[in-house]
Amino acid sequence: MEDLVSQIDAPLLEGIEITLFHQEVLEVSQLAKFICRVDSLSLIDRAEISFHDDSISVKLSQELQLPGIDPKTLKINLDCYEMNLRLSYLAQFCASFLPTLSPFECLHILVQCRCIPWRRVVDNPDPQWLELLRLFNAVKDLRLDEIVAPHAAPVLGRLPAEQVSEVLPALEIVFISGLNPFGPVKEAISEFTDARQLSGRPVSIYTWEQTML
Protein backbone atom coordinates (compact mmCIF):
# COMPACT_ATOMS: atom_id res chain seq x y z
CA MET A 1 0.00 0.00 0.00
CA GLU A 2 2.82 2.42 0.83
CA ASP A 3 4.23 2.16 -2.71
CA LEU A 4 0.77 2.70 -4.19
CA VAL A 5 -0.28 5.79 -2.23
CA SER A 6 3.10 7.44 -2.79
CA GLN A 7 2.15 7.71 -6.48
CA ILE A 8 -1.42 8.97 -6.02
CA ASP A 9 -2.75 12.52 -5.80
CA ALA A 10 -6.46 13.14 -5.14
CA PRO A 11 -6.81 16.81 -4.14
CA LEU A 12 -10.65 16.78 -4.33
CA LEU A 13 -11.14 13.69 -2.17
CA GLU A 14 -13.63 14.41 0.65
CA GLY A 15 -13.45 11.22 2.66
CA ILE A 16 -11.75 7.87 2.77
CA GLU A 17 -11.92 4.66 4.83
CA ILE A 18 -9.01 2.22 4.89
CA THR A 19 -8.60 -1.13 6.64
CA LEU A 20 -5.11 -2.29 7.59
CA PHE A 21 -4.60 -5.92 8.52
CA HIS A 22 -2.34 -6.78 11.43
CA GLN A 23 1.36 -6.97 10.62
CA GLU A 24 4.50 -7.12 12.73
CA VAL A 25 5.95 -3.87 11.38
CA LEU A 26 3.40 -1.18 10.54
CA GLU A 27 4.77 1.56 8.27
CA VAL A 28 2.24 4.13 7.04
CA SER A 29 4.26 7.33 6.62
CA GLN A 30 3.47 7.45 2.88
CA LEU A 31 -0.25 7.18 3.67
CA ALA A 32 0.06 10.21 5.94
CA LYS A 33 1.82 12.18 3.18
CA PHE A 34 -0.96 11.20 0.77
CA ILE A 35 -3.58 12.58 3.18
CA CYS A 36 -1.64 15.84 3.44
CA ARG A 37 -1.87 16.19 -0.35
CA VAL A 38 -5.69 16.08 -0.13
CA ASP A 39 -6.75 19.69 0.38
CA SER A 40 -10.01 18.94 2.24
CA LEU A 41 -8.33 16.51 4.66
CA SER A 42 -5.11 18.38 5.34
CA LEU A 43 -6.63 20.48 8.14
CA ILE A 44 -8.05 17.65 10.26
CA ASP A 45 -7.51 18.40 13.95
CA ARG A 46 -9.75 15.91 15.79
CA ALA A 47 -8.93 12.27 16.46
CA GLU A 48 -11.42 9.70 17.72
CA ILE A 49 -10.02 6.30 18.71
CA SER A 50 -12.55 3.50 19.16
CA PHE A 51 -11.78 0.00 20.38
CA HIS A 52 -14.01 -2.73 18.93
CA ASP A 53 -14.24 -6.48 19.53
CA ASP A 54 -11.55 -7.35 16.98
CA SER A 55 -10.20 -4.04 15.72
CA ILE A 56 -9.37 -0.42 16.44
CA SER A 57 -10.73 2.46 14.41
CA VAL A 58 -9.06 5.87 14.14
CA LYS A 59 -11.37 8.55 12.79
CA LEU A 60 -9.85 11.91 11.90
CA SER A 61 -11.92 14.99 11.10
CA GLN A 62 -12.18 18.73 11.57
CA GLU A 63 -13.46 19.83 14.97
CA LEU A 64 -15.37 22.77 13.48
CA GLN A 65 -18.46 21.37 11.76
CA LEU A 66 -21.01 23.64 10.09
CA PRO A 67 -24.76 22.78 10.17
CA GLY A 68 -25.88 20.93 7.06
CA ILE A 69 -22.34 20.23 5.89
CA ASP A 70 -20.82 16.79 6.22
CA PRO A 71 -17.40 16.93 7.88
CA LYS A 72 -14.44 15.73 5.85
CA THR A 73 -13.23 12.56 7.49
CA LEU A 74 -10.55 9.94 7.28
CA LYS A 75 -11.23 6.60 8.96
CA ILE A 76 -8.63 3.89 9.37
CA ASN A 77 -9.48 0.46 10.75
CA LEU A 78 -6.70 -1.56 12.32
CA ASP A 79 -7.43 -5.29 12.53
CA CYS A 80 -6.08 -6.72 15.78
CA TYR A 81 -7.69 -9.72 17.48
CA GLU A 82 -5.33 -9.99 20.46
CA MET A 83 -6.46 -7.69 23.27
CA ASN A 84 -3.02 -7.45 24.91
CA LEU A 85 -1.41 -6.22 21.68
CA ARG A 86 -3.88 -3.50 20.77
CA LEU A 87 -2.35 -0.56 22.60
CA SER A 88 1.17 -1.25 21.35
CA TYR A 89 -0.15 -1.76 17.80
CA LEU A 90 -2.12 1.49 18.01
CA ALA A 91 0.92 3.35 19.34
CA GLN A 92 3.03 1.94 16.50
CA PHE A 93 0.47 3.17 13.96
CA CYS A 94 0.22 6.63 15.52
CA ALA A 95 4.00 7.02 15.73
CA SER A 96 4.30 6.35 11.99
CA PHE A 97 1.17 8.19 10.86
CA LEU A 98 0.68 11.25 13.07
CA PRO A 99 3.95 13.23 12.78
CA THR A 100 3.25 14.11 9.15
CA LEU A 101 -0.23 15.47 9.80
CA SER A 102 -1.28 18.77 11.38
CA PRO A 103 -1.40 18.68 15.19
CA PHE A 104 -4.58 17.31 16.75
CA GLU A 105 -6.20 19.50 19.40
CA CYS A 106 -9.02 17.10 20.30
CA LEU A 107 -8.60 13.44 21.23
CA HIS A 108 -11.52 11.17 22.09
CA ILE A 109 -10.93 7.56 23.22
CA LEU A 110 -13.91 5.20 23.34
CA VAL A 111 -14.68 1.50 23.69
CA GLN A 112 -17.38 0.17 21.37
CA CYS A 113 -17.19 -3.38 22.71
CA ARG A 114 -18.24 -4.55 26.16
CA CYS A 115 -15.86 -7.45 26.63
CA ILE A 116 -14.75 -8.39 30.16
CA PRO A 117 -11.04 -7.36 29.91
CA TRP A 118 -12.00 -3.72 29.34
CA ARG A 119 -14.13 -3.67 32.49
CA ARG A 120 -11.33 -4.64 34.83
CA VAL A 121 -10.03 -1.71 36.85
CA VAL A 122 -6.34 -2.42 37.22
CA ASP A 123 -4.09 -1.15 40.01
CA ASN A 124 -0.97 -1.28 37.82
CA PRO A 125 -1.68 0.89 34.74
CA ASP A 126 -0.42 -0.47 31.48
CA PRO A 127 2.64 1.60 30.44
CA GLN A 128 1.46 1.30 26.84
CA TRP A 129 -1.15 3.97 27.64
CA LEU A 130 1.68 6.35 28.45
CA GLU A 131 3.43 5.43 25.22
CA LEU A 132 0.26 6.29 23.29
CA LEU A 133 -0.60 9.54 25.08
CA ARG A 134 2.93 10.91 24.63
CA LEU A 135 2.30 11.05 20.88
CA PHE A 136 -0.43 13.72 21.19
CA ASN A 137 1.61 16.75 22.20
CA ALA A 138 -0.83 19.32 20.78
CA VAL A 139 -4.04 17.93 22.33
CA LYS A 140 -5.98 20.48 24.38
CA ASP A 141 -9.26 18.56 24.75
CA LEU A 142 -9.12 14.93 25.96
CA ARG A 143 -12.29 12.84 26.29
CA LEU A 144 -12.40 9.39 27.87
CA ASP A 145 -15.44 7.15 28.13
CA GLU A 146 -16.37 5.29 31.31
CA ILE A 147 -14.54 2.11 30.24
CA VAL A 148 -11.32 3.75 29.10
CA ALA A 149 -11.01 6.16 32.04
CA PRO A 150 -10.19 3.53 34.73
CA HIS A 151 -7.20 2.47 32.61
CA ALA A 152 -5.95 5.86 31.38
CA ALA A 153 -6.55 8.06 34.44
CA PRO A 154 -4.16 6.13 36.76
CA VAL A 155 -1.41 6.48 34.16
CA LEU A 156 -1.75 10.26 34.36
CA GLY A 157 -2.24 10.30 38.12
CA ARG A 158 0.98 8.40 38.82
CA LEU A 159 3.26 10.48 36.62
CA PRO A 160 6.42 11.65 38.42
CA ALA A 161 6.49 15.39 39.05
CA GLU A 162 9.25 15.90 36.48
CA GLN A 163 7.13 14.26 33.76
CA VAL A 164 3.70 15.70 34.48
CA SER A 165 4.19 18.53 31.96
CA GLU A 166 5.85 16.33 29.36
CA VAL A 167 2.81 14.09 28.73
CA LEU A 168 0.01 15.95 26.91
CA PRO A 169 1.79 19.29 27.54
CA ALA A 170 -0.89 21.38 25.78
CA LEU A 171 -3.81 19.74 27.62
CA GLU A 172 -6.40 22.15 29.04
CA ILE A 173 -9.62 20.13 29.50
CA VAL A 174 -10.44 16.50 30.30
CA PHE A 175 -13.97 15.15 29.87
CA ILE A 176 -14.80 11.80 31.48
CA SER A 177 -18.07 10.00 30.90
CA GLY A 178 -19.93 8.73 33.96
CA LEU A 179 -17.38 10.17 36.36
CA ASN A 180 -18.09 9.32 40.01
CA PRO A 181 -16.94 12.28 42.14
CA PHE A 182 -15.90 9.89 44.92
CA GLY A 183 -14.51 7.00 42.88
CA PRO A 184 -10.96 5.84 42.04
CA VAL A 185 -11.01 7.48 38.60
CA LYS A 186 -11.78 10.89 40.13
CA GLU A 187 -9.05 10.35 42.72
CA ALA A 188 -6.49 9.43 40.05
CA ILE A 189 -7.33 12.27 37.70
CA SER A 190 -7.33 14.74 40.63
CA GLU A 191 -3.75 13.76 41.44
CA PHE A 192 -2.86 14.61 37.85
CA THR A 193 -4.67 17.97 37.88
CA ASP A 194 -3.09 18.92 41.22
CA ALA A 195 0.36 18.18 39.81
CA ARG A 196 -0.39 20.15 36.65
CA GLN A 197 -1.56 23.09 38.75
CA LEU A 198 1.77 23.10 40.58
CA SER A 199 3.64 22.89 37.27
CA GLY A 200 1.91 26.03 35.96
CA ARG A 201 -0.14 24.17 33.33
CA PRO A 202 -3.58 23.77 34.90
CA VAL A 203 -6.14 21.30 33.57
CA SER A 204 -9.92 21.43 34.16
CA ILE A 205 -12.00 18.26 34.66
CA TYR A 206 -15.57 17.94 33.41
CA THR A 207 -18.06 15.14 33.19
CA TRP A 208 -18.97 13.97 29.69
CA GLU A 209 -22.15 16.05 30.03
CA GLN A 210 -19.88 19.09 30.44
CA THR A 211 -20.88 19.80 34.05
CA MET A 212 -17.97 21.29 35.92
CA LEU A 213 -16.80 19.39 39.01
- In degrees rounded to 5, what are phi and psi of residue 4? -70, -55
Residue 196 in this model has a pLDDT that exceeds 80: yes
Per-residue model confidence (pLDDT) at position 211: 41
41 pLDDT exceeds 90? no
Percent of the chain with pLDDT over 90: 27
Per-residue pLDDT tens digits for 112-138: 866 545 555 444 556 888 888 988 889
- Provide the mean pLDDT of the chain: 77
Q: Is the pLDDT of residue 14 over 60?
A: yes
User: Quick one: pLDDT at residue 69?
Assistant: 43
- Residue 50 CA: distances (Å) to CA of 18, 98, 114, 119, 128: 15, 16, 12, 15, 16
% the chain with pLDDT above 70: 67
Strands (E), 33-104: 46-51, 55-61, 73-79
In the predicted structure, residue 16 carries a pLDDT above the cut 50: yes
pLDDT level of residue 210 (50, 70, 90 thresholds): very low
pLDDT per residue as tens digits for the range 17-32: 777 777 665 666 677 6
Nearest to 158 by CA among 192, 131, 128, 183: 192
pLDDT of res. 212: 42
Radius of gyration of the chain (CA): 17
AA letter at 62: Q
- What are the sequence ranges of the domains in the chain? 1-102, 135-213
